[in-house]
Amino acid sequence: MASKHTFRGIAAGLFLCGSLLAAIYYVQPETFFAVSNGSDEAIEDDNSATQEIVEEIKRENEELHIQIEELKAVVDNEVNEDESVIEADPLYISILSIEQGMTSKDISHKLETLNIVQSAQEFEAALSDRGVAQQLQIGDYTLDSTMTLEEIIDLITSQ
């Protein structure tokens, strides 16, 4: 443990520090409490500068809100245009499986069901006009709704 002399030395040091701080406080109180006319004016200047900054930020905020509204309107217009394009032309991709024993009529109806062709009768007529109704090949074919009747016929009748 520490000796008596060590504790007495620490106590004396604390007493001297406290006395010194008390003397400074009573001799020069304005250093601890900065209250004067100059500081009041400085506070008022700071308040007016702060008010100016607040007003400037409010103006910028209003301008940004206006820009946001304009951008929202532009985005809404683009989204509406995109939706109309999407709604007007949906894309269907399907796999057509032609099995042994299927007729051109079966295939036409299956293509119509898969939304690859608009009309089964129109597809059958195109097959008959080209004279390839009996040349359909067995297999799996990937088709989409953007393909023309000729492209579909060429694909499913090719060797």
Assigned token pair, 109? 């109806």
pLDDT at 159: 45
Q: What is the mean pLDDT of residues 52-70?
A: 92
Residues 106 and 156: beta-carbon distance below 8 Å: no
How sure is the predictor about 29, in pLDDT bands with cuts at 50, 70 and 90? Answer: low
Where is pLDDT greater, at 138 or 86?
A: 138
- Asked if residues 155 and 110 have their Cβ atoms less than 8 Å apart, the reply is no
pLDDT for residue 54 is more than 80: yes
Q: How far is CA 4 from the centre of its chain?
A: 72
What pLDDT does 28 receive? 80
What would the pLDDT profile of 67-93 be if each residue is shown by its tens digit? 999 999 888 888 777 666 555 567 888
Structure token digits, residue 6: 């060590």
**Radius of gyration of the CA atoms of the chain, in A:** 45
Does the pLDDT of residue 34 top 60, yes or no? no
Beta bridge pairs of residue 97 = 140
40 — pLDDT class (breaks 50, 70, 90): low
Q: Which domains are assigned to the chain?
A: 93-157 (3.30.1490.480)
Query: In the prediction, which pLDDT does 87 show?
Result: 56
How many Å apart are CA 116 and CA 141, to the nearest integer?
A: 12
Tell me the DSSP string of the chain: ---HHHHHHHHHHHHHHHHHHHHHHHH-GGGTS--SHHHHHHHHHHHHHHHHHHHHHHHHHHHHHHHHHHHHHHHHHHHHHHHHHHHHS---EEEEEE-TT--HHHHHHHHHHTTSSS-HHHHHHHHHHHT-TT-PPPEEEEEETTS-HHHHHHHHH--
φ, ψ of residue 100 to 5 degrees: the values are -65, 135
pLDDT tens-digit readout, 104-128: 899 999 989 988 888 889 989 998 8
